[in-house]
A and B are shown apart, each in its own frame.
Chain A
């Protein structure tokens, strides 16, 4: 069935270190993989996304990599800052129902200063 697994569930890093969050998906036909950041009590907001025709995308300190063979994609945050502390949600599109998005369970990232 449609499934997205996200690891780790919590991640603590020191300010300035890098953070990596990984998601795996079940549908080999999935073609769109967004990452959302959700601050405490706020709505999720898109921070970066990648489509299946590329393997990597960068936006300043944030990058996403995609391995279609292994069916996993990862979020990389470099030079972490306290304001990066939030819940990060990955998602993948599934063919059933017109490419709706299915989300992972989320990762709580804490950046310690």
Chain B
């Protein structure tokens, strides 16, 4: 049982290059998230997918796109990387999301450190 797996762990890009961060979970969770973490700024939500087939913007979506490929996989794409996107990216998943249940426990991946030169 691997939990949440994200790749790559490290990546260096030049300004303007594109790349995709991959995330997969094997816990049969319905909801998946992408956060970025910068010094002194906690975790900021980029995009999330409450259930398979849906995606929504979070706090800082500009410059990113996402795809919920299936229930297990949720990818984050940078079409034209900028130095401001240098950060540590965390994928997370939870069993469900919703007004009746409240937010649920997040399980995080190990993180992907991205540097844009």
Contacts and interface: CB of A to CB of B under 8 A. Distances in A.
Chain A, interface residues (CB within 8 Å), range: 20 to 34
B40 A44 contact: no
Contacts of B103: 31-32, 34, 93, 99-101
Interface residues of B, number: 27
A98 B102 contact: no
A19 B59 CA distance: 30
B105 interface: yes
A103 B42 contact: yes
Contacts, number: 69
A99 B45 contact: no
A51 interface: yes
Nearest to B54: A98
Contacts of B50: 97-98
A93 B41 CA distance: 18
A44 B56 contact: no
Nearest to A53: B102
Contacts of A44: 43, 90, 106, 108
Nearest to A106: B42
A98 B99 contact: yes
A45 interface: yes
B102 A31 contact: yes
A51 B42 contact: no
Interface in A69-85: none
Interface in A24-50: 31-32, 34, 36, 42-46, 49
A9 interface: yes
A109 interface: no
B21 to A, nearest CB: 15
Given A9-B40, A97-B48, A102 B102 contact: no
A89 B35 CA distance: 13
3 smallest CB-CB distances across A and B, nearest first, come from A93-B103, A43-B108, A32-B102
Interface of A: 2, 6, 9, 31-32, 34, 36, 42-46, 49, 51, 89, 91, 93, 95, 97-106
